[in-house]
Amino acid sequence: MDDTLIMMFGEFGRTPRINPQAGRDHWPQAMSIMLAGGGVPGGLIYGATDRNAAYVTDRSYSPADFACTIYALLGIDPHKYYAAPNGQPTPIVRDGEPIRAVVG
């Protein structure tokens, strides 16, 4: 587990209410992500939502922050630039910062 990062997440959270078809729709306001191994501290619960899991109430992060965190855990500088085929410098991730509680 020291050398393997396990991630579980989707592209959206789910609505806090059941829809008429007895399911849940996409909900971009809040979602859960689980990480294990790869240098992630065990037992860490980071951030919070309201009692309905509808809205973030503590420590909201962007997809760019999450991407920076994953790259940092993999030992890749998330602020590094690569040259695109046309020579244009292209960042690995635009904006974002690694989540310090996760990467140390």
**pLDDT digit string (tens) for 23-79?**
999 999 999 899 999 989 999 888 999 999 899 999 899 999 999 999 999 999 999
In the chain, the amino acid numbered 34 is M
> Which residues constitute the domain of residue 93?
5-103
Sign of CA dihedral 4, 33, 13, 61: negative
Asked if 68 contacts 78 with a C-beta cutoff of 8 angstroms, the reply is yes
Residue 2 has pLDDT above 90, yes or no: no
Domain total of the chain: 1
pTM for the whole structure: 0.83
In 10 A of CB 68, how many CB atoms?
24
Which amino acid is located at 48 in the chain? A
